[in-house]
Amino acid sequence: MIEKNSFYHAALDMSAQLSAWRRDFHRYPELGYEENRTAGIVADHLKRLGLEVRTGVGQTGIVGLLRGAEPGPTVLLRADMDALPIPDGKTVDYASTVKGKAHLCGHDGHTAMLMAAAQLLAARGAPRKGHIKFMFQPAEEGLAGAQAMIDDGVLDHPRVDAAFALHVKPTIASGTIGVGSGTFYAAADRIRIKIIGRGGHAAAPHQTIDAIPIAAQVITALQTIASRQTDPLDSVVVTIGQIHGGFASNVIAPEVEMNGTVRTLNPDLQKLMPARIERIVRGVTESFGATFEFDYKFSYPIVVNDESITDLVRQTADRTLGLGRWFNERPTMGGEDFAFVAREVPSALFWLGVNDGTERTSYPLHHPMFDLDENALPVGAAMLASAAWHYMEQA
Ligand SMILES: [Zn+2]
Ligand SMILES: [Zn+2]
C-alpha cells in the first residue's frame, strides 16, 4: 500500500512542469563541462526554493543544500546534466536545436527529475535533523564530472553519509524500478594502440611492413582474452571502437591507430587487463616486424551498490509507488561515473524504466532516435525525494 504522505501524488501534480523542463534541456543540449545554460536554470530553481546553492563546482556543477534544523546525517541525490556529441535523429518538436549534439542518454530527464525532487522536499520543509544535498554534475559521458565535483568538495561541508542516483533505462517498462546490490556497473577503461609499420607502394608489399593486416590480427587476437584467457563466469568486454590508418587505395599504410574500451566487473581481473592486452599487441606486431605504442587508462571504477542503501530503494519503491513496482536486475557492462561517489560513501544507483511499449521509447541509450516516456518522470522524481526522506527517517 502506498504510504499516506507519498511524494508520488505531489510528483504527479508536477508532470507538466517535469516535461517542460526536460523538453527545454532536450532542445538545448550541452556537452561535458559546457553545461552553463543548464546549470544556470538549475541554480535559479534551487535558489527560488530557498536552498543554499554553490555554483561552478567541478567547473559547471551545481550543489544545493536543504539544511535541517539540527545536525544529523547528510544524504546526497545526484543527477547528471551533459548531452552527447551525436546528432538528434528525432523529428519531434522538442528535438535538439544544436547541430551534432543531443540528449540521447536521458540526462535531460535526470536533471528535470532532481529539480522536481528538490521542490518536493523543500515543500515539505527543512528536515528535523540532518541535511539533504543535491548534486547536479557535469560531464558524466567519459569526462569524470563526478570526480571533478568530489575534488571540489561536494561530499564535504557537511560530510555526505549516503547517496542515491537513478538512470533511465529503455529496456524496462515505464515507471518500473530496476535495482541490484553489489557490483552494478562495470569498470570502464580506455586503450589506445598504435601499430607502426613501414609504408610504400600498394603493388610492392614485400618492400613494406603493412600496418593494416597487423591491426586486423591484433583485433582478432584481442577477442581471445574474453573467450580463452578469462574464467567464463567473469565478465569482460574488449571493444575496439575506432580504427584509423592509410592514405589511399594504392598506398600501404605505415601506421594504424586504434581506440577502444575494456569493461570488467571484477577488480582483480581489471588489474590483469593491461598486461594481457599488451602481451597480444607485442606478440602480434613483433611477429610481423612492426613496433607499437600502447596506452591503458584506468577510467571509471566499478559501481558497487551498498546492500542496505539498495534495500532502502526497494522499501522506498514499495512505500512510494505501491507493491510490485521494483525488481532485481543484473549488472550492466556499461560504465557510470557515479562510481566515484559510490566508492566514497554507501550508495545506490537504480534504474527507472522509460519504455511505454512503443517503438519511439524502445531505442537503446546513445542511439540517435533515443526518447523516453515522460510519464516515468514523476515516478523518478518521487523515488529520489522519498529515498532521501526515508533515509533521514531511519538515520
Ligand atoms: Zn550515456
Ligand atoms: Zn547516462
140, 210, 255, 356: the catalytic one is 140
CA of 306 to the centre of ligand 1 (A): 22
Instruction: State yes or no: is 52 an active-site residue.
Output: no
pLDDT in tens, 156-182: 999 999 999 999 999 999 999 999 999
Q: Which residues pair with 164 in a beta bridge?
A: 77, 348
Query: What is the mean predicted confidence (pLDDT) over 60-69?
Result: 96
35, 80, 82, 336: the catalytic one is 82
Which of the ligands is closest to the CA of residue 166? 2
Question: Considering only CA atoms, which of 272, 273, 274, 291 is closest in space to residue 283?
Answer: 291
CA of 1 to the centre of ligand 2 (A): 32
The span from the CA of 86 to the CA of 92, in Å, is: 16
Contact status, residue 72 vs residue 131, Cβ threshold 8 Å:
yes
* % the chain with pLDDT above 90: 95
Go through the domains of the chain in sequence order and give each one's CATH number.
7-184+302-394 (3.40.630.10), 187-300 (3.30.70.360)
Whole-number pLDDT of residue 1: 73
Residue 395 has pLDDT above 80, yes or no: no
The span from the CA of 355 to the CA of 131, in Å, is: 34
Per-residue pLDDT band at 127 (split at 50, 70, 90):
confident
By the CB criterion, residues less than 5 angstroms from ion ligand 2 are 105
Which of the ligands is closest to the CA of residue 338? 2
Per-residue pLDDT band at 281 (split at 50, 70, 90):
very high
Instruction: State yes or no: is 257 an active-site residue.
Output: no
Q: Which residues of 135-174 are buried (b: 16+ CB within 10 A; e: fewer)?
A: bbbbbbbbbbbbbbbbebebbeebebbbbbbbbbbbebbb
pLDDT in tens, 222-240: 999 999 999 999 999 999 9
Alpha-carbon separation of residue 264 from 339, 378, 383, 394 (angstroms): 13, 33, 29, 34
CA of 184 to the centre of ligand 2 (A): 14
CA of 335 to the centre of ligand 1 (A): 8
CA of 83 to the centre of ligand 2 (A): 9
What are the start-end ranges of the H helices in the chain?
7-13, 15-27, 36-48, 107-123, 145-151, 211-228, 267-287, 307-321, 339-342, 377-394
pLDDT in tens, 40-52: 999 999 999 999 9
* R_g of the chain, CA atoms, integer Å: 23
CA of 287 to the centre of ligand 1 (A): 39
